[in-house]
Amino acid sequence: MELQGTVKKLFDAQTFASGFQKREMVILTQEQYPQPINIEFLSDKISLLDNLKEGENVKVGINIRGREWVSPQGETKYFNSITGWKIEKVMDNGSEPTQASPSQSASPVSNENPFAGDDDDDLPF
């Protein structure tokens, strides 16, 4: 899956006692009701955030992960996380680069009615 938006917040990398590392970012989606989405980058993917700045427009490749956890009281809870694995910067207007428009040297379009001189009316009604 992919999410596109503006980088709202970049957090510092976190290292845990086990050696596990993660770094998070928040992007603000560009839709009618923009959503701040927290995305985590794990282990070797945290370096993808090194060249980003807040305010830049990006497209992020993501995976959605789910976990089940049973509390000591026996209650089951479910958690979701969004993990990033790829980042592409996009143009400032929030759209991807498009193909070049046709050159101006193309033949002009005629505004003449091609049927204007056709007096042969062979319609059956």
- Domain ranges, residue 50: 1-87
| CATH code, 76 | 2.40.50.140
Residue 116 lies in a domain: no
- Domain tally for the chain? 1
Q: How confident is the model at residue 67, as a pLDDT?
A: 96
* Predicted local confidence at residue 91, as pLDDT: 82
CA angle 36, 38, 42 (to 5 degrees): 160
Return the pLDDT at 112.
61
Flag whether 114 is in a domain. no
Note whether residue 6 is domain-resident.
yes
108 falls within a domain: no
Question: Do the domain assignments include residue 98?
Answer: no
For residue 9, being part of any structural domain is answered with yes
In a domain, 92, yes or no: no
What is the pLDDT at residue 94?
A: 43
pLDDT tens for residues 79-97? 999 999 999 999 865 444 4
- Residue 116: is its pLDDT beyond 80? no
- Reported as a single tens digit per residue, the pLDDT across 12-22 is 999 999 999 99
Whole-model pTM: value is 0.68
Q: How far apart are CA 88 and CA 52, in angstroms?
A: 10
Alpha helices (H) along the chain: none
pLDDT at 75: 97
Q: What is the pLDDT of residue 105?
A: 43
